[in-house]
Structures are given as C-alpha cells and as structure tokens.
Structure 1
Amino acid sequence: MASLQVFVCLLGLVVLCHSQCFFQLLEMKDPNNPPKGCVDKDGKLHDFSSKWDSMSDCMTCSCSTDGMGCCSMVPSAIAVPDECERVVNKETCSAKVMLKSDKTKECNPM
C-alpha cells in the first residue's frame, strides 16, 4: 500500500511539473471516523466522485477516495516571445498573449 501512495505522489509531481495541476492526498486523521469527501481551500466539503469549478482561483477540481485533484482552467501558452506577455483575466478564467509595448495588441505565441 505504501508503494501505491509513493506512486500517486510521484505521479502528482510529474503532472505538476508539466501543467498547472496538483493532487492532494486524502488525510486519514481518525480510522474510526473516515473522511466523507474532500475539503477545498475554502473549507467546503465535496463528496467523493464529485467535480466542481472554483472561479475565485480559476481551477477545476475533482474528489476521489484517494484525494483531490485540481487543474487550472486558464489555458497556458507553450512559449511566449520576449516582446510579449501572457495576461490573465481572473473574471473569465482566460488568457491572452499581448505585446509588452502595447497592451491593446495581441501577439502570436510560438
């Protein structure tokens, strides 16, 4: 069982390194009173097998008996030219690549 937990942790690190995702293992504090779901950063309990969007931090999350996994809803550009920058709109959970010199003009990511 310990090797499965190590595998899940390593898998979570690989996902975290290559995308904007994370996985948080479910904590078993009291074996006589097992968790009924996953608790998000705001303290809200989500049932196992549930999915939800957190618009305050632009994340989409899911809960399993192993833990909670979340990924960013904001698309990310693979590469942004030096003269450009990625601008995130937290209200719409979207991003655009804009010229640094003129923020009204979009530029094409590589």
Structure 2
Amino acid sequence: MKSFLAFLVAMGITVTLGDAYCWSRIHKPGEAKDGCMINGKLYPFGRIERTEDCYTCGCSEGGMDCCSLFHTPVAYDKKQCKVVFNKKRCDYDVVQKNNPSQLCFVYSRVG
C-alpha cells in the first residue's frame, strides 16, 4: 500500500510539472476569413501541429486555442548553467556557462 501511495504522489508531481502554457483568442466577426494569424503568419483552419513559435493550435472562424510545445526550466544550477531556447526541438536546453556543449541537470520545468 505504501508503494502504491508513493506511486500516486510521484505521478501527481509529474502531471503537475507537465502542464503546458496555453492561451485562447476569440476572433471578431469576419476577422478570420482564410485562417488564423499568429505573429504575422497565416495558418489554415483546423489543427496546427507546430507553429514557427513552437505552439500547437486549433484554428477556427470563431477563434484559436494554442498550447506551448516547450516547458521552461525553473530549477537548475543557475550559477553554473544558462538556459538557451532550441527552436529546432521546440524546447529549452540548459547548458554549462563555460562549456555550452555540456548539458546541465534540470530538476523541474513549468509550462
């Protein structure tokens, strides 16, 4: 029973740390004729798997809902390491300040 409780606590923490940052926008009537505009780029109606800014979105004439594909590191060795956004992977890398080719351990991330 104790191991089951420990498992539930661990899963609860993992789920909490796994939430993505999300936002919604409602279109004005007639605003979205051909799709949704995100940072100057027009995307077609429907599901958008990945925008140029690393979001996944749903686009309709009524509005759009987007969630980030990345999670921001918040707990890591801030004296020895720095955060660099990797746009190709849509995620943050935490690397050593004096040797950016070496990754640092990240304790937690938030969306």
Q: What is the TM-score when the length of structure 1 is the normalising length?
A: 0.59
CA deviations on 1:3-56 (whole Å, 9 max, x unpaired) are xxxxxxxxxxxxxxx853221112125xxxx9567513213341xxx2112342
Over 3 Å counting, the alpha-carbon distance change for 1:93 and 1:61 in structure 2 is same
Aligned to 2:43: 44
Secondary structure of 2:70's aligned partner: coil
Report the structure, 1 or 2, having the larger strand content. 2
Aligned to 1:59: 55
For residues 52 and 19 of structure 1, the distance between their equivalents in structure 2, rounded to whole angstroms, comes to 16
- Following superposition, which runs of at least 4 residues in structure 1 exceed 4 angstroms of deviation? 34-38
Aligned to 1:102: 99
Q: Is the deviation greater in 73-82 or in 84-93?
A: 73-82
For residues 25 and 62 of structure 1, the distance between their equivalents in structure 2, rounded to whole angstroms, comes to 12
Which has the higher relative contact order, 1 or 2, with Cα contacts under 8 A spaced 6 or more apart?
Answer: 2
Gaps of 5+ in 2: 1-18
Secondary structure of 2:71's aligned partner: coil
For residues 66 and 20 of structure 1, the distance between their equivalents in structure 2, rounded to whole angstroms, comes to 21
Q: What is the TM-score when the length of structure 2 is the normalising length?
A: 0.58
Q: How far is the alpha carbon of 1:96 from its aligned partner?
A: 1.8
Q: How many residues align?
A: 86
Letter in 2 for 1:22: W
CA RMSD, 1 decimal: 2.8
Q: How far is the alpha carbon of 1:76 from its aligned partner?
A: 2.4
Over 3 Å counting, the alpha-carbon distance change for 1:39 and 1:55 in structure 2 is closer
